[in-house]
Amino acid sequence: MRNCMWFRSDLRVEDNTALAEACRSATDGVVGVFVVCADQWRGHDYAPARVDLILRTLAELSERLAGLNIPLRVVEAARAGDVAGLVAKEAAACGCGAVFANAEYEVDETARDAAAARECAAAGLGFHLRHDQTAIEPATIRTGEGRFFSVFSPFRKAWLRRGAEEGGVSLRPAPGKQKPISIERTAVPARVKGFESRVPAEVWPGGERHALSRLRTFAKEGLEGYKVERDYPGRAGTSRISPYLTVGAVSTRQCVHAALSAAGLEAKGLDVKGHERMPAGPGHWVSEVVWREFFTHVLVGWPRVCMGRAFQIHTERLRWSENEEHFRAWCEGRTGVPIVDAGMRELLATGWMHNRVRMITAMFLTKNLFIDWRRGERFFMRNLVDGFLASNNGGWQWSASTGTDAAPYFRIFNPISQSEKFDPEGSYIRRWVEELRDVEGPAVHQPHDERKGLPGMLRMKIEYPEPIVDLSASRERAIAAFQALRA
Ligand SMILES: Cc1cc2nc3c(=O)[nH]c(=O)nc-3n(C[C@H](O)[C@H](O)[C@H](O)COP(=O)(O)OP(=O)(O)OC[C@H]3O[C@@H](n4cnc5c(N)ncnc54)[C@H](O)[C@@H]3O)c2cc1C
């Protein structure tokens, strides 16, 4: 039988569950299919930088697959609703008997796959969905009472216990050469209309090879110091692997394995005790990767988070500010709070933002400006090269105190103290906020402050805005609004 592998957010050859199975069970070759659907990408707020990385990664994938005699067919769907039928049609036209794909867990994607199963059945094709996006299938990790976890720490323990089980996080075999077939691969488009990226391609080189080499380099050079370095946005202390996880050029299993092997524990595998024995750097990094798994687990357990609903439903009674000028200033990085503006400008220039600054900017929007977290979530998604619904929603609802395991509403980051603590020399701010490049010393954290900022004359000279909001009064306003929910 000839099989069809439908690629989506799993653009790699190695450690790919559905591809490995499609190849293992095929007797008459394998065909790859990828659907370009601008309508679906627009509906899901894909950022141009993300689409650009997808296309460049796809181009490399097509080459690698050709080397395995697997032609990649890139087809275009005009509407999101056409995707499922188009895949079944393409698979049938290529003489396939079954379609294989790795599951995606968001509500629309789940509905699309149910439609694909129906379309395939109607065309006389098998349809096989495999679990691959997370190292461990999200719905299979449960509390003792069989419920989904809504708190991270016990989830992490349960995840580690599952990881230790037979085959828990083991890597899938890379496919070998397939039987040559007379189907041509099609060209991968270099761009898709409406998704012209302003982020230069060299910021995020495309492809599985680059993703794996980035992972290896980080495992060798960055993991050891990760626990300390990870919080400083001015240093290269994190892996920056997230865009490659989002497009699936690398898998979470490969990340876990890289950490285990850096700690010399690959042969021993992973369990709660093994994780405790890991050195601080790799151990902490694995925990961060598990956060990604946790948020996917939450999305599967409470699908309403995919549909703009708060995890903590009572917080939907909050009456958010509708100050458009404030929202625009935040989006454009001109709030007058340097660390916030640096983060937003990093996002606009590179499609990525450091985790610490994602938390600071998200808390500033939702607490100090008191603007609805959904607006920030959407703006991030529309600009992030690593936009991933589960983590983006999880991060936003954490920051807004509306989510699982969220920051308590009264613990509001002070962006200035955060800036002084995590960008002590101000190098991150100076890098992204041009107007402050020549400001020396700690004044860079709040240049307009009468006590800690620049001397009067210099303050007048810089073309950097004064803060658009009073940090302490706005903090009190947010706390009062959350307290009123309890009345
Ligand atoms: C408001 C907000 C929005 C976010 N939106 C996204 C998003 O759209 N896509 C995304 O991948 N991550 C998101 N995150 C999580 C986190 O900021 C990024 O995963 C991280 O900054 C990526 O950089 P890195 O690869 O260098 O991470 P590293 O520190 O090297 O961590 C390795 C990997 O672990 C995972 N990870 C690390 N921290 C977190 C976390 N807090 N939550 C979930 N997973 C984590 C990521 O997959 C990451 O690539 C968001 C966080 C916040 C606070």
Nearest residue CA, atom 40 of ligand 1?
A: 291
Beta carbon of 218 within 6 Å of any ligand 1 atom: no
Q: CATH topology for 134-169+210-301?
A: 1.25.40
Which of 320, 323, 414, 435 is an active site residue?
320
Nearest residue CA, atom 51 of ligand 1?
A: 395
Is the Cβ–Cβ distance between 125 and 96 less than 8 Å?
Answer: yes
Q: Is the pLDDT at 267 greater than 80, yes or no?
A: no
Beta carbon of 295 within 6 Å of any ligand 1 atom: yes
Task: In the chain, count H helices and then E strands.
Answer: 21, 5
Determine whether 355 is an active site residue. Answer: yes
Percentage of the residues of the chain whose pLDDT score is greater than 70? 99
Give the per-residue pLDDT at 191: 96
Give the per-residue pLDDT at 457: 80
Tell me the CA–centroid distance for residue 409 and ligand 1, in Å: 22
List, as one string, the DSSP characters of 375-414: HHHHHHHHH-TT--HHHHHHHHHHHTT-STTPPPTT----
Summarised one tens digit per residue, pLDDT across range 185-223 is 999 999 999 999 999 999 999 999 999 999 999 999 999
Class of domain 3-132: alpha beta
Which of 41, 159, 373, 398 is an active site residue?
373
Summarised one tens digit per residue, pLDDT across range 432-470 is 999 999 999 999 999 999 889 988 788 878 899 999 999
Phi-psi region of 46 (alpha: psi -120 to 50; beta: other; left: phi over 0): beta
The ranges assigned to domains in the chain are 3-132, 134-169+210-301, 313-486
With a CB cutoff of 8 Å and minimum separation 6, the contacts of 230 are: 237, 238, 284, 288, 355
Determine whether 396 is an active site residue. Answer: yes
**At which residue do the structure tokens 């699309």 appear?**
112
Q: Is the pLDDT at 398 greater than 80, yes or no?
A: yes
Q: Is the pLDDT at 169 greater than 90, yes or no?
A: no
Pocket test for ligand 1, best of 288, 372, 392, 396 (most atoms within 8 A of CB): 288
Is the Cβ–Cβ distance between 160 and 272 less than 8 Å?
Answer: yes
Spatial separation of the C-alpha atoms in residues 326 and 375, rounded to whole Å? 12
Beta carbon of 134 within 6 Å of any ligand 1 atom: no
Is the Cβ–Cβ distance between 278 and 257 less than 8 Å?
Answer: no
Determine whether 291 is an active site residue. Answer: yes
List Cα–Cα distances, 206 to 13, 125, 140, 212, 391, in angstroms: 14, 33, 33, 11, 22
Instruction: Report residue 26's pLDDT band, with 50, 70 and 90 as the boundaries.
Output: very high
Tell me the CA–centroid distance for residue 231 and ligand 1, in Å: 12
CATH architecture of residue range(s) 313-486: Orthogonal Bundle (1.10)
Summarised one tens digit per residue, pLDDT across range 329-351 is 999 999 999 999 999 999 999 99
Determine whether 373 is an active site residue. Answer: yes
- Average pLDDT for residues 319-332, to the nearest whole number? 98
Q: Is the pLDDT at 121 greater than 80, yes or no?
A: yes
Determine whether 288 is an active site residue. Answer: yes
> Pairing state of beta strands 98-102 and 72-76?
unpaired
